[in-house]
Structure 1
Amino acid sequence: MKTLRFAAIAALALACTTPLAAQELPITSAELVEVGMIRIDDGHFGDYAAFLNDQWRKDQEYALKQGWISGYEILSNEFPRAGEPDIYLLIRYPSIPDAAEQKKRQDAYLGYMQTSMQKQEAGSAERAKYRKVLGSMLLRRWVWTK
């Protein structure tokens, strides 16, 4: 009897199920959001804020003008617990470029900023004295279709 009931329920479920390919989702994928998680040593918030206002902001404004990103922002963690970031750096991308496009963008950026990867890495090493990059995430934003 249990087997017959289970079979009837399974048949009903299959009859009422629309194939996934035929279903229209109520959401669709949108931009990508990169989230950098930064911990700043005590007494160095001003140092890092100066970097963000100067170099990081210039970088993002250049990328925005080129259409490589669709926006950026800084969020602070007002009540960080042990091990949590103080600041989240968000960068919004309409899409991720392939390797060739990424190289083209890197070359254009380095030329515009009159810098090199070695100088960029040296700057990062200098900031590492008072800030820690705890990690990063790449998130996908979804929007309603209905």
Structure 2
Amino acid sequence: MRQSILTILGTATLFIAAPATAQEVPLIPGDYWEVAEIDVNDGSGPAYADYLASRWRQNQEFAKSKGWIKDYMVFSVVNRRADEPDLYLVTIFERAPTASEQMAREKEFDAFLKTNARQEGAAFAARGAMRKVGGEMLLQRQLFRK
């Protein structure tokens, strides 16, 4: 019995003496990933691919050149099940802009695209003939501590 008590006390001492860093959560927050679910309407695949390769890509490259986003990508669902989207459009960024930063970015986008918010809204609605936006998720990557 004395040996059992010594073993328990010895084990408890190891946990109490553990360094503080061992008690930290092993994950730290990383970049944000905005993920849009896109269901392409029947027969619209080539037209929507053209849009992604032109206007959408142009917008993403502009945002990337400004440092607003880090990267972007398109994923297709290979073995699609019922109620799953055809595509996921992903945009990666470090932080969300403040309200004033967002308004300034919109002005820069309008100047870059030679358009305005109403025209962009109409263009978004017109793309409804090619696709449906199923939803959006905002994920934050979790990184392992070094």
**TM-score when normalising by structure 2:** 0.83
After superposition, the C-alpha distances for 1:118-137 in whole angstroms (9 at most, x for unaligned) are 11111111110120000000
Q: Which residue of 2 aligns with 1:121?
A: 121
SS for the counterpart of 1:57 is: helix
Q: Which residue of 2 aligns with 1:34?
A: 34
SS for the counterpart of 1:112 is: helix
Q: Which residue of 2 aligns with 1:3?
A: none
After superposition, the C-alpha distances for 1:7-60 in whole angstroms (9 at most, x for unaligned) are xxxxx8xx96x9xxx942211101000000000111110010000011100000
SS for the counterpart of 1:128 is: helix
**What is the count of residue pairs matched by the alignment?**
131
Opposite residue 40 of structure 1, the aligned amino acid is V
Q: Which residue of 1 aligns with 2:61?
A: 61
Gaps spanning 5+ residues in structure 1: where?
A: 1-11
- Superposed, 1:3-18 pairs within 5 Å as none
Q: Which residue of 1 aligns with 2:92?
A: 92
Displaced runs of 4+ in structure 1, greater than 4 A?
Answer: none
Q: Distance in 1 between matches of 2:33 and 2:102?
A: 17
Q: Distance in 2 between matches of 1:131 and 1:82?
A: 16
Gaps spanning 5+ residues in structure 2: where?
A: 1-11
Q: Distance in 2 between matches of 1:113 and 1:37?
A: 24
Deviation at 1:109, TM superposition (A): 1.0
**TM-score when normalising by structure 1:** 0.83
SS for the counterpart of 1:67 is: coil
The share of aligned pairs that are identical, in percent, is 36
